[in-house]
Structure 1
Amino acid sequence: MTESLLLVAGGLVLLALGGELLVRGAVGMAARLGISPLLAGLTIVGFGTSTPELATSVQAALAGSPGIAIGNVVGSNIANILFILGLSAVILPLSVNPASFARDSIALGGSALLSTGAVLLGVIGPLAGIVLIGCLVGYIWWAYKSESAAPCPEATRHEHEAEDVPVPPDAGPVVLGGMILAGLAAAIFGAGWLVDGAVVLAGAAGVSESVIGLTVVAVGTSLPELIACVVAVLRKHEDVALGNVVGSNIYNLCGILGTTALIQPIEVPAEIAGFDIWVMLGVTALLIVQLRSGWRLSRLEGAVLVALYAGYTALLATR
């Protein structure tokens, strides 16, 4: 048990370090290549911050642990909405820009429905992976075209996401390339440790790999989003907190699940198909309704979300 906990902890540290190095190196390289901050924020920052989830799900799928591979994605999305966004709203009520959220709510709801359909197939294979990745590319193109056409709050937010990433001053392509490679290596090794530790931990605790994937692994790989959202609301940048969660969930469902299925077909555990995917779909719908009803997430609504997450994790502990 102790060894598995050390593997999980060490894996999470390496994943966090790898994601940070990858984002900093890639954003710095984008700036040197003249890529706009808007495009960098939409793509590089989005993909970079999802590196822990991607590396973990791919490693789990290759290791024959579909419960961890899919549980990581589904559990991360549930935790992002109920726990991370709920906690953020408790700290500071979150206001929503109706114009920008009209597009993102369609993408968020559509990705949740599409991934639910993929899970219900029983096996998520390369074809489903291509469809999911294609939808993510379509969303990025739609967002980039709409935000670059005219000034808008969402475009400013994405630009700030890229501009706020600390990059070593005057770092050349060799240094930045080294940061990217080091980040990828750390993420790959960290994911391997995390998956190995999670498999042993599941056996020692007498629970399924799906439960470990939905809880320990999902929350662990979502720690960068948690830290980013809490820091954002403490700085009174509630738009960044909301954008982080919405963007992360879209990337998780379309990018991570799609890429994982493209690399290694995933056999969906019956417990996730029968319950957890519906929880994810339900909380996604709840968030969209909450935000569109008053274009605001109050402290009370945030507290309700956190309470729902506590209830969900307690229910998982009984499985």
Structure 2
Amino acid sequence: MLIDLAQVAAGLVILLVAGDLLVRGAVNLALRLGIPALMVGMTVVAFGTSAPELVVSVQAVWIGAGGLALGNVVGSNIANILMVLGLPALIAPLAVDPALRRDFAIMIAATVLFLALAMGGVFHHWQALALLLGLGLMLGDNLRRARAIRAAAPAEADDPGDLEGADPALPGWKLTLFLVLGILGLPLGAQLLVAGAVDIASALGVSDAVIGLTLVAVGTSLPELATTLLAAWRREAGVAMGNIIGSNIFNLLCIIGVAGMVGPIAVPESMLRLDLWVMAGSSLLLLPFILRGAPITRPVGLALSLAYAGYITFLVIRGG
């Protein structure tokens, strides 16, 4: 068990480091190729920050642990709202921009599509294609919006100054090193994490879906949590909600869409009864804050954090 835990910890560390290197390398490469900073933020960074979850899920499906892949996505979306928004709000209220209403509506639409497809009990190729089609529509919408923003304010759209990972002075050899280490590190970290998680599930007598909903989901949500905690500490948490909404959309449409093309992903009965609805309910909790533009205050953050603690406790009891 200790060896498996060490394997999971090592896999998480490698995933986090490799994901960060890949994002930095991809951002700077895209900017050098003349891609506008706004488009980089909406596409390259979004894909890069979802890379750990994507590689973990594909690896899990590849070895026949589809429940872990599905649990990773559903659990990450729940953790992103209840934990990643809840804990930082205890430090400082999180601002909510009413301009996120369109993105929030897309997230709810993606959630409804995901739930409808999951009711069939299995994600086959055609369900995966439906999710990828939704992803394509979302990216096309972002592209149209980005062009409109760039046309309205071209100077701001091309300014990479505020883009995470952008460094105009980054030498070419370091950019290449970041990309190579990121590309090589992600599958290595995913292999260690998935293998260790499956062994832990077997040793504890719980399903791989429960491990995905808890251990793996929390682990792959650590980058978002660390970023949001730091932003809250610096009183600069205004973009936290946008990051969470974007991450949840990519988790639902991209990760299961790609993983479902590798092989079928069965939906456990327990997930159909509870976890999918917890994910949907967690998403709807944001509705009043989005509509009113009201900040997530400390009491709300405490309630979200306690709700997540209660959910994880229930999963452990259910799994054990």
Structure-1-length-normalised TM-score: 0.92
**Alpha-carbon separation, structure 1, partners of 2:211 and 2:190:** 14
Partner of 1:224: 223
The amino acid that maps onto 1:87 is L
Alignment check: 8 A CA contact 2:198 2:208 kept: yes
> 2:235 aligned with 1:206, yes or no?
no
Shift of 1:306: 0.6
> 2:35 aligned with 1:39, yes or no?
no
With over 3 angstroms needed to count, the CA separation of the structure-2 counterparts of 1:168 and 1:5, relative to structure 1, is: farther
Partner of 1:312: 311
Shift of 1:110: 0.7
Task: Indicate the SS of the match to 2:11.
Answer: helix
1:113-167 CA-to-partner distances (Å, cap 9, x unmatched) read 11111211111122221221221222222123224424799x9799769723154
Task: Indicate the SS of the match to 2:90.
Answer: helix
Amino-acid identity (%): 43
Shift of 1:227: 0.8
Shift of 1:300: 1.2
Partner of 2:182: 183
Aligned residue pair count:
316
Aligned residue runs from structure 1 range 100-249, under 5 A? 100-150=99-149, 163-165=163-165, 167=167, 169-172=169-172, 175-249=174-248
With over 3 angstroms needed to count, the CA separation of the structure-2 counterparts of 1:267 and 1:35, relative to structure 1, is: same
Alignment check: 8 A CA contact 1:41 1:162 kept: no
1:71-124 CA-to-partner distances (Å, cap 9, x unmatched) read 0000000000001111122222122222x2120111111111111112111111
Shift of 1:256: 0.8
**Alpha-carbon separation, structure 1, partners of 2:254 and 2:144:** 20
Partner of 2:71: 71
With over 3 angstroms needed to count, the CA separation of the structure-2 counterparts of 1:143 and 1:86, relative to structure 1, is: same
Alignment check: 8 A CA contact 1:38 1:162 kept: no
The amino acid that maps onto 2:2 is T
Structure-2-length-normalised TM-score: 0.92
Partner of 2:54: 54
With over 3 angstroms needed to count, the CA separation of the structure-2 counterparts of 1:83 and 1:157, relative to structure 1, is: farther
**Alpha-carbon separation, structure 1, partners of 2:257 and 2:291:** 28
The amino acid that maps onto 1:265 is P
Alignment check: 8 A CA contact 2:37 2:157 kept: no
**Alpha-carbon separation, structure 2, partners of 1:168 and 1:59:** 34
> 2:249 aligned with 1:250, yes or no?
yes
Q: Greater CA deviation, 143-152 or 6-15?
A: 143-152
Partner of 1:20: 20
Shift of 1:2: 0.9
Unaligned runs of 5+ in 1: none
Alignment check: 8 A CA contact 1:40 1:159 kept: no
**Alpha-carbon separation, structure 2, partners of 1:157 and 1:297:** 29
Partner of 1:260: 259
The amino acid that maps onto 1:288 is L
Shift of 1:293: 4.3
Partner of 1:94: 94
**Alpha-carbon separation, structure 2, partners of 1:159 and 1:104:** 23
With over 3 angstroms needed to count, the CA separation of the structure-2 counterparts of 1:312 and 1:156, relative to structure 1, is: farther
The amino acid that maps onto 2:295 is R
**Alpha-carbon separation, structure 2, partners of 1:158 and 1:116:** 38
Greater fraction helix: 1
**Alpha-carbon separation, structure 1, partners of 2:26 and 2:231:** 22
Shift of 1:178: 3.8
Alignment check: 8 A CA contact 1:8 1:198 kept: yes
With over 3 angstroms needed to count, the CA separation of the structure-2 counterparts of 1:97 and 1:273, relative to structure 1, is: same
1:13-39 CA-to-partner distances (Å, cap 9, x unmatched) read 110111011101111110110111000
Shift of 1:223: 0.6
**Alpha-carbon separation, structure 1, partners of 2:211 and 2:283:** 22
With over 3 angstroms needed to count, the CA separation of the structure-2 counterparts of 1:156 and 1:134, relative to structure 1, is: farther
